[in-house]
């Protein structure tokens, strides 16, 4: 037990003070060690007190899970969170990121940022002298992918060789699922309508990071994509910032609804995941979301445990 704990700490200590901007910022062994720590925190086997450290939250988009799970994670680590929404700070009046990032680095110990462009997040990271976390951009949602794969590992006891079929828009959630899944040995298929496929640069990046023979595929046929899937995953058809495309997308994505017929084609021990919030009757039916196959609330809970582990590591609390 003692040597296992030491191994865990040495894998993770190398990530102390690092940014988490993309799923690719953590290596395979670090992700698996983070999951071990998250599970220990979850069952109460481990307590970490960081001694009143402060997380700054800069959220340009709405959030329930990410915001609250970060707040609760920080409280459980003995720290605090300050809300730095652009509406209530000088950011909203045009103060440059390079000034904001340097000032906030003098008050806070870590920043979690939800915004539109990944480039904006990278600019914060460039100027901040404290770790920066991606709390969702248009390109990636890496904290979500950690919670997703922790949930899958808990359900199946392993990750290598699991087939995950994501049905819907090739968006930020799909991108992080591909990158993180590739590193963990999960076979990830992203099945989207023509013209809404995942960004080819991210597909290539995921393929280049593939471990244990994991396969990353893109397809347009939901029925084919879910054959042999142990995990079916979906997300909204129009992400935050795409509201004006909502009606157009609703028509185009209709065949990409996760419904009873689709899940009947998959593996018998299938689980269904959704990052939430869900639009019932659109990307997923009420029946499937509320079915025994759905593990969406365990998945949402794991946001807390995995982010608590991430913060503990980044703030050097091991």
Q: Which stretch binds ligand NVA (CB under 6 A): 46-54, 157-165, 231-239, 262-270?
A: 231-239
Contact between 236 and ligand NVA by CB under 6 A: the answer reads: yes
Contact between 230 and ligand NVA by CB under 6 A: the answer reads: no
| Closest among 104, 96, 109, 24 to 70, alpha carbons compared | 109
Among ligand NVA, ligand CP, none, residue 172 binds (CB under 5-8 Å by kind): ligand NVA
Instruction: List strand residue ranges (DSSP E) for 14-143, in order.
Output: 54-59, 80-83, 110-114, 132-134
Instruction: List strand residue ranges (DSSP E) for 235-312, in order.
Output: 271-274
Contact between 64 and ligand CP by CB under 6 A: the answer reads: yes
Q: How far apart are CA 173 and CA 23, in angstroms?
A: 11
Contact between 240 and ligand NVA by CB under 6 A: the answer reads: yes
Residue 213 region by backbone torsions, left for phi larger than 0, else alpha for psi between -120 and 50, else beta: left
**Is 303 known to be catalytic?**
yes
| Closest among 283, 158, 287 to 233, alpha carbons compared | 283
**Is 114 known to be catalytic?**
yes
| Closest among 67, 103, 112, 13 to 315, alpha carbons compared | 13
Contact between 299 and ligand NVA by CB under 6 A: the answer reads: no
Catalytic residue among 65, 274, 303, 305: 303
Length of the chain: 318
Q: Residue 294 has what DSSP assignment?
A: B
**Is 141 known to be catalytic?**
yes
**Is 235 known to be catalytic?**
yes
Contact between 171 and ligand NVA by CB under 6 A: the answer reads: yes
CB 168 within 8 A of CB 232: no
**Is 65 known to be catalytic?**
no
Binds ligand CP (CB under 6 A): choice among 23, 144, 175, 187: 144
Catalytic residue among 275, 295, 305, 314: 275
- In the complex, the smallest distance separating the C-beta of residue 245 from ligand NVA, rounded to whole angstroms, is 12
Q: How far apart are CA 273 and CA 289, in angstroms?
A: 8
Among ligand CP, ligand NVA, none, residue 64 binds (CB under 5-8 Å by kind): ligand CP
Among ligand CP, ligand NVA, none, residue 306 binds (CB under 5-8 Å by kind): none
| Closest among 278, 228, 282 to 64, alpha carbons compared | 278
Number of residues that bind ligand NVA (CB under 6 A): 9
Contact between 275 and ligand NVA by CB under 6 A: the answer reads: yes
Binds ligand CP (CB under 6 A): choice among 57, 73, 179, 275: 275
Of 36 and 282, the one with the shorter C-beta distance to ligand CP is: 282
**Is 144 known to be catalytic?**
yes
Of 143 and 312, the one with the shorter C-beta distance to ligand NVA is: 143
Of 198 and 275, the one with the shorter C-beta distance to ligand NVA is: 275
Cα angle 161-216-230, degrees, rounded to a multiple of 5: 40
Cα angle 125-127-130, degrees, rounded to a multiple of 5: 60
Contact between 276 and ligand CP by CB under 6 A: the answer reads: yes
CB 19 within 8 A of CB 131: yes
Torsion of CA 150, 156, 158, 163, to 10 degrees: -90
Of 236 and 318, the one with the shorter C-beta distance to ligand CP is: 236
Q: Residue 267 has what DSSP assignment?
A: -
Other Cβ atoms less than 10 A from the Cβ of 224: the count is 12
Binding site for ligand CP (CB under 6 A): 63-66, 136, 144, 275-276
Q: What are the residue numbers of the active site? A: 114, 141, 144, 235, 275, 303
Binding site for ligand NVA (CB under 6 A): 136, 171-173, 235-236, 239-240, 275
């Amino acid at each position: 037990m003692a040597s296992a704990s030491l191994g865990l700490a040495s894998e993770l200590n190398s990530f102390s003070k690092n940014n988490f901007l993309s799923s690719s910022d953590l290596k395979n062994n670090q992700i698996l060690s983070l999951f071990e720590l998250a599970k220990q925190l979850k069952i109460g086997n481990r307590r970490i007190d960081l001694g009143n450290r402060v997380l700054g939250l800069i959220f340009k988009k709405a959030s329930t899970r990410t915001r609250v799970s970060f707040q609760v994670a920080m409280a459980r680590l003995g720290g605090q969170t300050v809300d730095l929404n652009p509406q209530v700070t000088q950011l909203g009046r045009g103060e440059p990121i390079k000034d904001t990032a340097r000032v906030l680095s003098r008050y806070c110990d870590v920043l979690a940022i939800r915004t539109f462009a990944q480039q904006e997040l990278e600019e914060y990271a460039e100027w901040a002298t404290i770790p920066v976390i991606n709390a969702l951009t248009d390109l990636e949602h890496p904290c979500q992918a950690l919670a997703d794969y922790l949930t899958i590992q808990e359900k199946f006891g392993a990750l290598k060789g699991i087939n995950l079929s994501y049905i819907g828009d090739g968006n930020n959630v799909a991108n992080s699922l591909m990158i993180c899944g590739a590193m963990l040995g999960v076979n990830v298929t992203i099945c989207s309508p023509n013209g809404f496929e995942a960004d080819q640069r991210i597909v290539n990046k995921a393929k280049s990071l593939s471990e244990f023979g994991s396969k990353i595929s893109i397809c347009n046929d939901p029925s084919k994509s879910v054959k042999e899937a142990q995990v079916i995953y979906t997300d909204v058809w129009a992400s935050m910032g795409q509201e004006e495309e909502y009606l157009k997308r609703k028509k185009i994505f209709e065949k990409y609804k996760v419904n009873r017929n689709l899940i009947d084609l998959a593996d018998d021990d299938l689980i269904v995941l959704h990052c939430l919030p869900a639009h019932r009757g659109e990307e997923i039916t009420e029946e499937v979301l509320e079915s025994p196959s759905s593990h969406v609330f365990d998945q949402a809970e794991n946001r807390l445990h995995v982010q608590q582990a991430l913060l503990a590591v980044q703030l050097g609390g091991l």
